Amino acid sequence: MEALIGSTFTVLLAIGFVYLISRAFKVIRPFERGLVERLGKFISERSPGLNVVIPGVDRLITVDMREQVIDVPPQEVITKDNVNITVDAVIYYEATDPQKLVYNVGDFITAITKLAQTNLRNVVGDLTLDTTLTSRELINTQLKSILDEATDKWGIKVVRVEMQRIDPPQDVQDAMNKVMKAERDRRAAVTEAEGSKKAAILTAEGIRQSLILKAEGEANAVIQIADAEKYEKTAVAEGEAKAIETVFAAIHKGDPTNDLIAIKYLESLEKIANGKSTKIFLPADMSAVLGSIAAVSELFKDAEEEE
């Protein structure tokens, strides 16, 4: 019996020893930091890796040092121009001092959420609706600065704050939609009018250029025709002048008698008088013509006598 009791005690002792050993060795992960309390008093901060504590005496508190996100619930906010809108946001933060995060704030999530809601109402309340809708980055920056300063004693750093929703009332949304539609219609009308104006200008410019080119072409054609006619008349005149000079030179070179000239004169009159129309020819020098005719008649008489 005593042997059985002794064996049971030994087994229990071994189990207790193993349990104490398992409680004495703690593993802290790379993204965590440890805080050790001994009998309710903070004694040290532990780094990642294997750490030894006294079971039943020491208490190890681990703090996650990774970046975390908190979703701020939607809330109604009144803008500067008295428009009731619904807004919400998300907060990204990371722990910088695990001791402050554990001992300086009881419920950190609730505390930062309420702080964000309060300051969100203050920031948006100083802006009009139009500014709120177009200034998300401004709101994010101001809210981040306020929260980062307020939470510094809690051992965290606010990395960024992002607005998620900015929802005006339905009637305001309908009015905004009508305004945007009217603005789009106005821009479309202006764009169409400018297009028609440019098209009309281009068409008029094309017609003007066409008329100018046509007029220039006609002017060039008239100039070329005039030059051709001028060249033709000049060539004809030069040809006639040369012919007259040649005939004149030939006449003087042949030294014709008055009798021959009279005969040629009469032959010319015969050619002129040839035709169906009635012609009246009055030589300018009648005496010279009659003299020539008399001389010709004398020639014919002399010729008959010789025969």
**78-87: per-residue pLDDT in tens?**
888 888 889 9
How many domains is the chain built from?
A: 4
* One domain for residues 162 and 178: no
CA proximity to 160, closest of 70, 63, 32: 70
* One domain for residues 157 and 75: yes
Task: In whole angstroms, give the CA distance from residue 262 to residue 257.
Answer: 9
Instruction: Please tell me the predicted confidence (pLDDT) of residue 256.
Output: 60
pLDDT digits (tens, 9 = 90+) for 182-202: 888 888 888 888 888 898 898
Quick one: average pLDDT of 172-188? 82
Domain boundary among 219, 235, 255: 255
* One domain for residues 204 and 275: no
* One domain for residues 73 and 163: yes
Give me the domain span that covers residue 225: 170-255
Task: In whole angstroms, give the CA distance from residue 121 to residue 86.
Answer: 10
* One domain for residues 202 and 214: yes
Instruction: Please tell me the predicted confidence (pLDDT) of residue 275.
Output: 57
Predicted model pTM: 0.55
* One domain for residues 184 and 156: no
Domain boundary among 116, 144, 168: 168
* One domain for residues 301 and 250: no
Q: Is 45 exposed, middle or buried (0-12, 13-18, 19+ CB in 10 A)?
A: middle
Instruction: Please tell me the predicted confidence (pLDDT) of residue 302.
Output: 54
* One domain for residues 156 and 76: yes
Instruction: Please tell me the predicted confidence (pLDDT) of residue 299.
Output: 52
Task: In whole angstroms, give the CA distance from residue 158 to residue 108.
Answer: 13
* One domain for residues 286 and 275: yes
